[in-house]
Structure 1
Amino acid sequence: MTLVLLGFTFFSATMWGGATIGVAFPFWPDLALVILLGSAILAFYVAGLGYVGFRSGLSTVLSARFAFGDAGSRWPDILLGLTQVGWYAWGTATITIVLARLLDLDPGWKAPLMLVFGFVFCLTAYIGYRGIAALSWISVPAMLLLIAASASVALRDAGSAADLLPPGTVEALTVAEALTIVVGTFVSGGTQVANWTRFSGSARTAVGSTFLAFFFGNGLMVAVGAFGAAVYGLSDIVEVLAVQGLLSAGILMLFLNIWTTQDNTIYNFSVAGCHFFRTERRRLVTFAGAAAGTALALLGMYNWLIPYMTLLGTFIPPLGGVIMADFFVRHRGRYPAPGEEAVPRFNLQGIAAYAVGSLAALLVPGIPPVNGIVAAFLAYACLVRLPAHINRSNRSRETRQMGQVSGGSFRAQR
């Protein structure tokens, strides 16, 4: 479980995010504190959702059916599914650009290479969890070697300089914006961590492996990208590797690193897509998501990374806040078995709480991801404790037993 999740969080896009904040703050103590705090926020958030997955045995989108309703849960499907396609597009474009730069290829090669990589990266996800786990055993140690090599070269080069670059070398960021980037690197994938922790053998495994991957793994990637950028003044990690003389040696490791994240990413999409369409044809949905991601890569997704991560860090954390509040407050740590409780078509309490969390992330001063999680959790907790007759009235008006197809899909996915 730990290797699978580390393979997921060892992603070069995280190094890009780190590089962006690395040129905006002094490395010590400002940048170090931003990385530690942002990684801690992400890790605690994801660990809570990982525990929900272990205890319930449900994927994230099935938990969302309780929190948002049978039809209402399609909104999380859309949001989580589309964000995963966006990450898939970015990873496909990244490895193509790196390879083209390394081999000095003609620009005309980029589109065919994107098509090839877009297909190859989804093969292990097509197999399923076992295929993802097998690849992680190879890629995680390889990526650790690349990280160690890049960090050691950066430390050597930094030692010959008077100091690391001052803040604002490339662009100025506020602390809140920087924290949003750190959290946004993996808040979408982290929100879907139950897709894996539902297979955990114990709560310790579910929570411990999740926290290790999203605090240590994700934080390490951010730190390496940030430190390299602070030393060299470059916000593009490919350029940093080229300056360090590691581009040729690192190309295979970078390929494996991106592949392990790509297969996890498209697996997440397939889970959300199957739930949205109420189908069990996961492999077909996997290929459809890979095709959509490849199309986005061809359209230039590579250049949209930082705005994309900022958007994720604002609108996705409230989803997790609602799901955790629904599990821990409303259902007291245990979802009802199929047939025990009718699932409403729309859970207005969950939808309203998500709206409150999103507005808090957008408008309330502070750290947007934290604002969104806390506001959504508290709003839902308050709404479910409204006078009993109000809740009964809402349920009697909106609740219906799920139809044969919907219920069958629900039981099959459980």
Structure 2
Amino acid sequence: MDQKSQDYPLSEVPQAARKSFGSLAVVLLGFTFFTATMFAGGQIGTAFPLWPDLVAIIVTGNLLLGAYVAVLGMIGARTGLNTALLSRFSFGRIGAKLPDLLLGFTQIGWYGWGTATMAVVLLRLIGIDAETHSVLAYALMILFGFAFCWTAYIGYRGLELLSIVSVPLMVLLLAVSLWIAVQDGAGGEGLMAIQPGHALGIGTAITMVFGTFVSGGTQATNWTRFAASPRQAVWASLVAFFIGNGLMITTGAIGALVYQQPDIVDVLVIQGLTVLGILMLFLNLWTTQDNTIYNFSAVGCTGFATDKRRMVTVIGAAIGTVLALLRIDLYLIPFLLLLGTFIPPIGGVIMADYLVKRRGSYPPIASADLPDFNKAGLAGYVVGCLAAYFSPGIPPLIGIIVAILTYVMVDRVLSERDKPAAGSP
């Protein structure tokens, strides 16, 4: 099987296959321009005044997300490995099945959410109720479920070509929606005078901002491994996950603040942008859906030890379509909160293993002597999740920090235990 045509699912990306900063940035931006992020922004926008609360939440959440992805992106560029292969070092050959399962499920979950949302919202925008015309809605879900995976089937080049076309258009549409919202809100002073319509905890709000893309961000190495240098990977990650994701959150939040309507689709209709809204929705979801299913294919190839990435892509699209038919789109907010709690510790473990234990260097994956289980990695993940779930504050940040500290402490204890006793042969 030609590894190049399959995007190197089981090996390092060679330098000859690396991409430019512009190519990487536009692909990552296409990934982060996601309708679910605008929906999450809408939930936050109706719960906080613009200044300083809403601004602080958006900046804090996206800064944390951008920094988290930038570190993982740098690791991906240095090693040339995707997240699933990095997990072999930090969790062990068999232990890595745990993050593989979790990350694969989250990406399939997002694919199902996007597929169902595209069908339901498209019908709403043209005046058809999806519940009343459920057969039509289901038919559209099946159509979109397999159509969205086409560019991912092609590989990185397919993602890049779609993003080059769609990202500038989406930036323009977002700018138009923001401009109309600011005008309808009577400018900056008018926006700051608007009072929130319902209550939401600050920690929960930041977790929602972080959680919208923490699962995708944890797998950003799937693209940053193609970066020509670690520096380019870091900057491309910040552009996409701090600025790009922040723009999506801000657009949804400002629209919700002005119109007191958390649903971005209803906001677009109020603004008279129905046709543009359909175009934005389609491009928005397609550029994320193909990246999402590409993530699943990377995890699936590693988990099943196959280099047939395109076949895994189609299988993932089929599973995601089934989830769409089961209406996973009705559970967005609980899904976001779960992601913000249980996914970040995976990235924390990878950071600790590469930066602390391995001191920034991995041997070639094909010749690496890997244990079945990396006990420090598994302990770091479990303790990190428990801390994120039960501790007050910002669960994603707590989970990452605790996972790193636990990994380092457990690894040192195990290393001391395994040292030969003084005087022994």
Residues 1:243 and 1:338: Cα distance change in structure 2 (over 3 Å): closer
What letter corresponds to residue 77 of structure 1 in structure 2?
A: D
Distance, in Å, in 2 between the alignment partners of 1:92 and 1:15 is 16
User: Is 1:57–1:199's contact at 8 Å kept on the other side of the alignment?
Assistant: yes
User: Is 2:49–2:192's contact at 8 Å kept on the other side of the alignment?
Assistant: no
Alignment of 1:12-411 (within 5 A): 12-105=35-128, 106-159=133-186, 164-167=193-196, 169=197, 171-338=198-365, 341-386=368-413, 388-391=415-418
User: Is 2:75–2:230's contact at 8 Å kept on the other side of the alignment?
Assistant: no
1:165 CA drift (Å): 3.8
What letter corresponds to residue 75 of structure 2 in structure 1?
A: V
| CA offsets 1:332-369 (integer angstroms, 9 cap, x no match) | 10012246542010111100011110011011221100
User: Is 1:165–1:233's contact at 8 Å kept on the other side of the alignment?
Assistant: no
Identity of matched residues, %: 55
1:133 CA drift (Å): 0.3
User: Is 2:191–2:258's contact at 8 Å kept on the other side of the alignment?
Assistant: no
1:27 CA drift (Å): 1.1
1:299 CA drift (Å): 1.0
Distance, in Å, in 2 between the alignment partners of 1:357 and 1:329 is 17
Distance, in Å, in 1 between the alignment partners of 2:81 and 2:191 is 53
Distance, in Å, in 2 between the alignment partners of 1:29 and 1:35 is 10
User: Is 2:50–2:192's contact at 8 Å kept on the other side of the alignment?
Assistant: no
Distance, in Å, in 1 between the alignment partners of 2:121 and 2:88 is 40
User: Is 1:46–1:210's contact at 8 Å kept on the other side of the alignment?
Assistant: yes
Distance, in Å, in 2 between the alignment partners of 1:48 and 1:138 is 28
Distance, in Å, in 2 between the alignment partners of 1:203 and 1:52 is 7
User: Is 1:10–1:221's contact at 8 Å kept on the other side of the alignment?
Assistant: yes
What letter corresponds to residue 166 of structure 1 in structure 2?
A: Q
**Cross-structure match for 1:399:** none
- Where structure 2 has 5 or more consecutive residues not aligned to the other structure, the ranges are 1-23, 421-425
| CA offsets 1:267-312 (integer angstroms, 9 cap, x no match) | 0001111111111121111111111111111111111111100000
Residues 1:164 and 1:230: Cα distance change in structure 2 (over 3 Å): farther
Q: Secondary structure of 1:185's partner?
A: helix
1:392 CA drift (Å): 5.5
What letter corresponds to residue 357 of structure 1 in structure 2?
A: G
- Aligned residue pairs, count: 391
1:89 CA drift (Å): 0.9
Residues 1:281 and 1:164: Cα distance change in structure 2 (over 3 Å): farther
Q: Secondary structure of 2:112's partner?
A: helix
What letter corresponds to residue 362 of structure 2 in structure 1?
A: Y
Structure 1 stretches of 4+ with a deviation exceeding 6 A read none
| RMSD over aligned Cα atoms | 1.5
1:247 CA drift (Å): 1.6
| TM-score of the pair, normalised by structure 2 | 0.89
Distance, in Å, in 2 between the alignment partners of 1:93 and 1:340 is 43
User: Is 1:325–1:380's contact at 8 Å kept on the other side of the alignment?
Assistant: yes
Residues 1:236 and 1:387: Cα distance change in structure 2 (over 3 Å): closer
User: Is 1:143–1:254's contact at 8 Å kept on the other side of the alignment?
Assistant: no
